[in-house]
Structure formats: C-alpha cells, structure tokens
Chain A
C-alpha cells in the first residue's frame, strides 16, 4: 500500500503530531511509574507486571495499530463504518449483560481473561467513523431535517447505552464531539442551536432529576456519581424531614465525596511553580490522593504535584500541538470524509483533555474520563492511538 502513495516525495506523516504523542507517552510512562510507586513498593511484584511497564506494552500495541490505521486508506475504512458502528452497539449491549464491574458498581468492562476490554472506548471510535461517513454526504442534503435527525439518532443510541452502564462521563463526551462534527460538516446553525439548546435542557433536566426528584423517578445513576455531581454543584440534598442523625450521615457522605476533589486540588496547588520532583509527591505516596484513581483519572494531579506549573503547561502544550495539528490536517483533507474524521478525532481528544484536566482543578465535575495517553488503561491508549492513526491516514491522503 505504500506504493500507492499519492506522491513519493510528499511527507507522509505529520511529525508535529508524532512529537506531541511521543512526548505525552514518555510523560505517561514516567508518571504512572511515580503514581503507582507507593502501591507497588508495598508488595513485591514482577517487573513485567508493574503498571508503567504494562502501559509501555499498551503503547507499543497502540502504535502498531496506529501504524495499521495510518497505512489503511480512511476511505476504505469508512465503507465499513456501518458494520463497525453496529458491532460497537452490540458490544455495548453485551457489556450490560455480561460485563464486569471491577467492584465499582458500574459494568464497564468485558473480561477476556488476561485483559479486560472497555467497549465504551471502542464505541467512541466507532461513533466517530460512523458520523464522519454519514455526514460526508453533499452539503445540500444536510439541510434536510431528516438527515439531521438521523445523525442525532446515531449519537443518542450509544449515548443511552453508555449511560446505562452507567458511565456518565464517556456518554457525555459523545455529545460535544457529535455537535462539533455536525458543525464542521455544515449542518445549518439553526439546527445546531436547537440541538445545543435541547442538550442543555436535557442536561439541566438530568441534574434536576438527579438532585431533587424522588428516588423512584431518578435516572439510575450510581450513588457515587450522584454525589460527585452534587459535590461539583455544591448541592447537598438533605431531606427537610431528615433527623439530625440522618443529616449527619448525608453530610459525611458529601464530605467523603468532596474529599478526592479537594485532595486533587491540594496536589496540584502544592506543586507550585516547579513541583516537588519526580517521585517526591507526598499526596499520592501517603494515599491522600486515592490510590485507585491516582494513576488513571487523577494522573494529572500527580504530574502537576511533581512537576509544578511548568509541567502542567508542558502537558497542555503537547496536547495543543496534537489538537491544532489535527485541525490543520482537517483543513488539508482531500475530501469531506477526511475533514470530518479529523475534526471528530480532535474533538474527541479535546473533550477528554478538557474535562479531565478541568476536573483536577475543580473546573468540571468529576466523571471517570481518562486523560488520553497519560492515564493508565489499555483500551483508552489503544483507541487514542488508533484515532491518531486515522488522523495520520487523513494527512497521508491529503490533497496535493
């Protein structure tokens, strides 16, 4: 397939993106090693079972798959979009039936013995390809409300299934990604404004429902998720009729839920300008930052504590490099499909980065969204790298 390249002398890889990725992966391995230090030094484990080693293995796998995606013509892939999409839907249904919960209550993983697979991550990718393919039809067709409705349906189906798991964060990521893609595709702004308004309304209703509705009317969120939202919005719904004891209990739960956010803030804040140095962070070592999340959802706190503002800005700069290069690739794409694919990848990445870093500094509510490439977790790494591979494929097949 290399032989079919459009122009042998043309650049085939966007190196800015590669530099960004390599930087992020290096940081990821280094700080996962730091974040899991306390946990791992306590009980002796073989080197190949150390988390940062496992992460490196995932990186290698991911890079291989990214190279495969890069070598694949995205247009050929898009022909399979319907299959990929429905396959992901089947997986999402399957996870609801046979998924495992990791003791968290939410069924998010399908157990494959040696490793576990998180269908919601894959679904994001499938959704992206499906939407890009669907929206790549001529711009005039997009004016029809029917097309718009179909696009909405494509978004809502995985959205609802993922929310059922429940994984509010992953589900909510689909909405802005879908909207961004529709926007980039040229769907009339009036539709999008309505959609945005509608989405806002839905979110508001969900929140109202979560906080104030009587228990039997509520969306079946796990109690911890409800608490996280309550912490973010500063709502603590103690029933007026509650006894003093009951009130105490609810307030204590509220404080416990606020604990990890508070500890993340202390980690980030105490890092100061240049941080405390690699493996010198105390928040994680002493367990204030909950060990279960320090190496994945809250990896940014570890980085920020140990490398300070300088490190945080480096991370954001590396992401910016990838994101803006991605948008440039979208601008250079040879067709609407490539352009939408690139916009989709960029939006998806951006949603993760924006929400995850935001929740480390209390700008966004705590939802279990990983920080792409930095957080520990195989499926997330694979999907991110595959998405980047698609982006490179779009670049490789850009217009002359």
Chain B
C-alpha cells in the first residue's frame, strides 16, 4: 500500500502508533466478522423472537348432527367490540404531554402519570362507546393493567356477544371513536339445550391450546375444547386445524402490522346415530314422571346397536358453558342429589332388580334346571323365600307358579328357588357373557363399568344368601346402557353389540376432499351362544308381561279400561324391576326399571327406562316406555333399512 510504504520512511514512534491503530482496527474487523457473519443466525433468531408474535386462529368447530341431519351443536356468529391499543397511542402521548405540562418529574412519577393517562384515555373511550350504544360499559383498571402488561399488541375485548340491535346501532352510527372495531367470532350453540346435553357434552375455554407440531404461540384467540360427551370424543375432528398469523410488534410491544401465514381449516362434522325427534319424545316422556325426575332413557336399534336416544335427567344447558357461568348456576349444577352433570344412562351404576331375572332365567335354562318338564311344573310360593334364618319377601302373592307366571308376576321365590339350583357361577358367568361389569369403551368420558364380579372373584366371598340376592338383581350394579345392550342381545337372537353413537365423520363442506372422513359400522362385541329357543322363550314371557293382565307392565300398556292396548299393532316385550337401595338393613330408596323391546314379533327397538326413587318399575317406568313406543310408532323411524352388514370385532 502506498500509504504504508511512505510510513515506513517515517520514524519508529510513528510506526508504533500506526501499528497500535492497525491492531485495534483489525480487532474491530474480526469482532464484526464474528458477530455479523459467524453468529448472524443467532442474532437474527433473537430479532425474530422479539419482533414477531405468533397468534393462533382457531378454526370453526364442526357441527354435530343427528341421523336425519338435524343439528345438535351448531355455530352462531357472536359480535364483539375490540379496542386496539396501538391506535390509541397518539392519544396517550398527547394526553401525557398535556397532563405533565412541562413539570419536572422523576422517572417513577412519569411512569405513574403514564399509567393514569393510559387508563383515563381507555376508560373514556369505553365510556363514550357505552353512551353511544346506550349500555353502560366499563373496563376495570385491574383488567386493563394486566392486559397492557401482558399483551399490549392484542386488542382488548370490551363487549362480548352484542345483541343484534347494538350491532346495528354500531354499524349505522359508526361512532367516531379511535381504536374500536367490531369483530365477528363464531360461538358454539346448542339449539336443543337440555334435551341432548349429556350426549353432546359441552366446551370449556382452552386458551392454552396449541397444536402438537407447531408450538410457541404467543397467544391464541379464544379457543374451546370439548370437556365431555361427543364434543370431547370427537374433539380432534371437530376442532379442525388452527391457522396462524404473526404480528410485528415494536419495542413497546404495540402492534405494527399483521401477516396471516396459514388460514384456519374448519373442523369436520360429526353425524350421530341419535334420532332427535325420538330423543325429544323420550326427554318429554321421562320428564312427565315428575319435576326434576332423576332417571335415564336409552333407545337402541337392537340389530345395529345404534343409540337412537340417550336421555339423562335432570339435565343442564350446555350453552351456559360458552360464557361465564354465574356462581348460583354452578351451585345448582353441582347439587349432590340432582347431579345434573352426571350422565345417568352411561355413568350411573344401579342394581338392576328384577330385570336381571332375564339373566337368571337364561342361566337356569342353560343349566337344565329349567327344562321342558320343569318349565310348566308349578311350584308353591309361600310369599317369601326362607334361606336359613333369613326370609326374603316376595311381592308376588302366594300360590302356584310355573315359569311364565313366575316371570310375568316377577316372583322372587321362583327365581331364587331355581337360581340357587343353577348356581352362582353359572349366573355370574352368563352375566359376564353380556359384558356386565365391563367397560364398553365409550369415548365420551362418561362411563361406569358397573359392578359385576366374575365367579373367581367371589369364590370365597359369596354364600347362598348373596347368590339369592343375585338371582333377583341385587348385590350387583349395571348402567342403563348395559341393560339396553343386554335386552338387545335377547331381542336380536344372541348378538351382544357395541353401542354405535357416532355414525360418521364427514367434511364440513361436501366439496372438501380432505381429512379422515370416516364411517363407523355397527360392531358385534360377542355372541352369547345361547340356543334360540331359550331366547324365544324369554321374549315370549316378556311379551306376556305387557299383554297378559297378570303381567307387571300390563296396566302401563293398556288404557284405563284395562282392556284396550295403548299401542295398536305394536307388541312390546318387557320386564319391570324395582331394586332396593339399602343402608344396613333399612331400605332407603328404590331404583325402578323397565327394559323392553318391540315390535314383539320382529324386535327392532330396545327401550330401557330407569328412574331413581320411583314407585315401581311397572308404575313409574313402563308408562314412560309406552310413550316412547308411541313416538316410535308415530315416527316409524327410518333406521338404516335394510340393516347394514354386521362387522364382527375381536
């Protein structure tokens, strides 16, 4: 270099100065190389990190439809007023300058004044908006501060779920207020409210939602997730995939600009096997028993296991969960006796009472203690069963009973007598073949397996006393859904079905060819391997229960004249049950049952009604079932005709 060459002629000390300067400049260049070239990616990453905020945009939730395409869970638009803080910034600054008026201030005082000014600008804006909408609006200082500290780049929601007239007023008047904007969000809506609450479940706010593959959102627009029921079971399909946008924020975290990277894709629709008109009829029928009756109704398609109706009462309104729930509503919903949140049809385990005599009878037939000769052989019932020193009462009057009379009068004596002969293990193992005491594997988070032991479990525990109880449906518990599946197996000739609640999952719009649209076929859980003539016999005596004057359900299925059947051309086979709930030796409550199938000759429907604290199965539950059959008859529900091919599982 020319310059350096000439320097060389200069003296030593000048060269030393030149060397010192060169050295430091070299250090600077090396430092810059290290920062700008070697570690550039690291600094770019921290730049992105401090400059961008990723926001999750939840997708429109898919619908939940019944088998006829009627909607059970829908979305409706909700109008919110949002306040964008960055648009108020010039006001903050101007107001601050005005308020300060050139006074000298310490840093703490300035900060303090800034807060005051910000809050006063925001609350004035909100107040003026309130005046415009003729609705008092306030934003608590606490809320504003928290919001401002955490997410200044995010709009504050001032008013949620505006009524249509307010929306119209806002849009027509378009008040000259800075930073206020109207946003439309989609809000979950359940048109049926209480009727199908337990099946669909409800949503809870889930602001921490994130997809597995893309974490790291700074915040998420209000998101909901299914808590229980179908909303929970099909949450992934219903939810769709969230979109993503990023907000560029400045050093004060105000929003500068926004880019949408991926649009949200709406969730898929879930089609249930439920039949809404029938569900409503069943809900009304059950509620006709008493105000806030505690009970459940299950209606199944006996051949496919399709759940046509699943009612639990008392119920709750799932719409309440999308907003804030007032304290007293919470209190009501967690009432320890009514338990509205509890799905009695699948979660409630109750002693089946006399309805279990179906199993006892089948066990006796299978063991041969009831055979062609003993079936018709009448034995004397003294009105109670004496077991050692214990006397088990029989509600059926004393007299001679053969099998048919014993069944339709629901004689405890008769079934304990033969049940003990057939033996504990045979009854228990047959019960297990009906999958009593086992979970079905419902995806709804509302399931109880009931309690039904295997023979091995009670080998050393149960004596004849326990077995006698078992014969008449005490000592064990089942859910109404399990009873319905049991009845269906009897009605359909020995196939224990899986209940089918979800019929298919389909794209939100027919055109959209994507996602894992799926059809769910009926599935057989197991075969009973019981001779058809045994099942036919049971069906015959069940029909007798409603058709013969002595039957426990006769009154319920006939008009007040005790002659005319309420159902025309529709025979129903049923079994009543009244189980005792004991505390110690005292009977404190009754669980009343009616399990049934119809039409009698070619059973298609299974109706199970359970009412807590009812009078008796025949008086309380059978009339409910009768009303449901009337509704079925009226609708002639077009359940999958012809029945789809059965796919056996396991």
Q: A residues near B, CB below 8 A?
A: 16, 180, 183-184, 186, 263, 265-266, 268-273, 282-283, 286-288, 304, 308-309, 312-313, 316, 319-321, 323-325, 327-328, 330-332, 339, 343, 346-347, 350, 354, 357-358, 361, 363
Given A273-B40, A313-B29; A268-B21 close (CB under 8 Å): no
Which of B11, B29, B36, B50 contacts A271, CB < 8 Å? B36
| 24 A-B residue pairings within 8 Å (CB atoms) | A183-B13, A270-B46, A271-B36, A272-B40, A273-B37, A283-B47, A286-B248, A287-B250, A287-B252, A288-B50, A309-B36, A316-B29, A316-B32, A320-B25, A323-B21, A323-B25, A324-B21, A327-B18, A328-B7, A331-B7, A343-B17, A347-B17, A354-B24, A361-B32
State in angstroms the CA–CA spacing of A330 and B10 once bound together.
Answer: 8
State in angstroms the CA–CA spacing of A16 and B4 once bound together.
Answer: 13
On whether the beta carbons of A324 and B4 are closer than 8 Å, the reply is yes
Q: Does B98 contact A (CB under 8 A)?
A: no
On whether the beta carbons of B36 and A272 are closer than 8 Å, the reply is yes
List B contacts of A183 (CB < 8 A): 13, 16-17
Which of A304, A331, A347, A361 contacts B10, CB < 8 Å? A331
Distance of A45 from chain B, by nearest CB (Å): 16
List B contacts of A282 (CB < 8 A): 47, 51, 248
List A contacts of B50 (CB < 8 A): 266, 288
Interface residues of B in 1-58 (CB under 8 A from A): 1, 3-4, 6-7, 9-11, 13-14, 16-18, 21, 24-25, 27-29, 31-33, 35-37, 39-40, 42-44, 46-47, 50-51
State in angstroms the CA–CA spacing of A193 and B51 once bound together.
Answer: 49
List A contacts of B251 (CB < 8 A): 263, 286-288
Closest to B47 in A: A270
Closest to B32 in A: A312
Q: Does B138 contact A (CB under 8 A)?
A: no
Chain B 251-264, CB-CB to A under 8 Å as 1, else 0, gives 11000100000000
List A contacts of B44 (CB < 8 A): 269-270, 272
State in angstroms the CA–CA spacing of A330 and B249 once bound together.
Answer: 51
State in angstroms the CA–CA spacing of A327 and B46 once bound together.
Answer: 41
On whether the beta carbons of B10 and A363 are closer than 8 Å, the reply is no
Besides A272-B40, A354-B24, 18 more A-B contacts (Cβ < 8 Å) are: A16-B3, A183-B16, A273-B36, A273-B40, A282-B47, A282-B248, A312-B32, A313-B29, A324-B1, A327-B7, A327-B14, A327-B17, A330-B10, A330-B14, A331-B10, A357-B32, A358-B31, A363-B28
List B contacts of A272 (CB < 8 A): 36-37, 40, 44
State in angstroms the CA–CA spacing of A376 and B46 once bound together.
Answer: 28
Q: Is the interface of B mostly helix, strand, loop or mixed?
A: helix
Distance of A399 from chain B, by nearest CB (Å): 12
On whether the beta carbons of A269 and B256 are closer than 8 Å, the reply is no
Given A270-B40, A273-B36, A283-B47; A358-B28 close (CB under 8 Å): yes
Distance of B424 from chain A, by nearest CB (Å): 69
State in angstroms the CA–CA spacing of A374 and B11 once bound together.
Answer: 32
Interface residues of B in 235-279 (CB under 8 A from A): 248-252, 256
State in angstroms the CA–CA spacing of A343 and B18 once bound together.
Answer: 10
Which of B16, B43, B51, B250 contacts A269, CB < 8 Å? B43
Distance of A336 from chain B, by nearest CB (Å): 11
Distance of A105 from chain B, by nearest CB (Å): 11
Closest to B46 in A: A266
Closest to A259 in B: B251
List B contacts of A265 (CB < 8 A): 35, 43
Closest to A320 in B: B25
List B contacts of A271 (CB < 8 A): 36, 40
List B contacts of A312 (CB < 8 A): 29, 32, 36
Closest to A289 in B: B251
Distance of B151 from chain A, by nearest CB (Å): 17
List A contacts of B9 (CB < 8 A): 331
Given A283-B47, A286-B51; A184-B36 close (CB under 8 Å): no
On whether the beta carbons of A328 and B3 are closer than 8 Å, the reply is yes
Distance of A23 from chain B, by nearest CB (Å): 16
State in angstroms the CA–CA spacing of A308 and B33 once bound together.
Answer: 10
Distance of A103 from chain B, by nearest CB (Å): 10
| Residue of B10, B21, B50 with most chain A CB atoms under a 10 A cut-off | B21
State in angstroms the CA–CA spacing of A328 and B3 once bound together.
Answer: 6
List A contacts of B25 (CB < 8 A): 316, 319-320, 323, 354
List A contacts of B31 (CB < 8 A): 358, 361, 363
List B contacts of A346 (CB < 8 A): 17, 21
State in angstroms the CA–CA spacing of A347 and B13 once bound together.
Answer: 13
Chain B 388-409, CB-CB to A under 8 Å as 1, else 0, gives 0000000000000000000000
Given A363-B28, A363-B31; A309-B37 close (CB under 8 Å): yes
List A contacts of B18 (CB < 8 A): 324, 327
List B contacts of A325 (CB < 8 A): 3
State in angstroms the CA–CA spacing of A120 and B74 once bound together.
Answer: 74
List B contacts of A308 (CB < 8 A): 36
Considering the complex of A and B, which 10 residue pairs feature the smallest CB-CB distances, nearest first?
A269-B43, A331-B10, A287-B251, A286-B250, A309-B36, A272-B40, A270-B47, A324-B3, A288-B251, A270-B43
Closest to A269 in B: B43
Given A286-B249, A331-B6; A269-B13 close (CB under 8 Å): no
State in angstroms the CA–CA spacing of A358 and B47 once bound together.
Answer: 21
Which of B1, B36, B249, B256 contacts A268, CB < 8 Å? B36
On whether the beta carbons of B29 and A304 are closer than 8 Å, the reply is no
Distance of A239 from chain B, by nearest CB (Å): 20
Closest to B27 in A: A363
Distance of B153 from chain A, by nearest CB (Å): 12
State in angstroms the CA–CA spacing of A325 and B1 once bound together.
Answer: 11
State in angstroms the CA–CA spacing of A377 and B281 once bound together.
Answer: 85
Closest to A312 in B: B32
State in angstroms the CA–CA spacing of A343 and B584 once bound together.
Answer: 109
Closest to A38 in B: B250
List B contacts of A180 (CB < 8 A): 17
List B contacts of A331 (CB < 8 A): 6-7, 9-11, 14
Closest to B1 in A: A324
Given A282-B51, A363-B27; A328-B6 close (CB under 8 Å): yes
| Residue of B1, B4, B33, B35 with most chain A CB atoms under a 10 A cut-off | B35
Distance of A321 from chain B, by nearest CB (Å): 8
Which of A186, A309, A320, A343 contacts B33, CB < 8 Å? A309
Closest to A358 in B: B28
Distance of A14 from chain B, by nearest CB (Å): 10
State in angstroms the CA–CA spacing of A286 and B86 once bound together.
Answer: 13
State in angstroms the CA–CA spacing of A254 and B50 once bound together.
Answer: 19
| Residue of A183, A312, A331, A357 with most chain B CB atoms under a 10 A cut-off | A331
On whether the beta carbons of B17 and A184 are closer than 8 Å, the reply is yes
List A contacts of B40 (CB < 8 A): 269-273
State in angstroms the CA–CA spacing of A263 and B16 once bound together.
Answer: 36
Chain B 535-562, CB-CB to A under 8 Å as 1, else 0, gives 0000000000000000000000000000
On whether the beta carbons of A304 and B36 are closer than 8 Å, the reply is yes
State in angstroms the CA–CA spacing of A346 and B21 once bound together.
Answer: 9
| Residue of B7, B25, B39, B46 with most chain A CB atoms under a 10 A cut-off | B25
Given A268-B35, A269-B35, A309-B33; A357-B17 close (CB under 8 Å): no
List B contacts of A324 (CB < 8 A): 1, 3-4, 7, 18, 21
Distance of A29 from chain B, by nearest CB (Å): 22
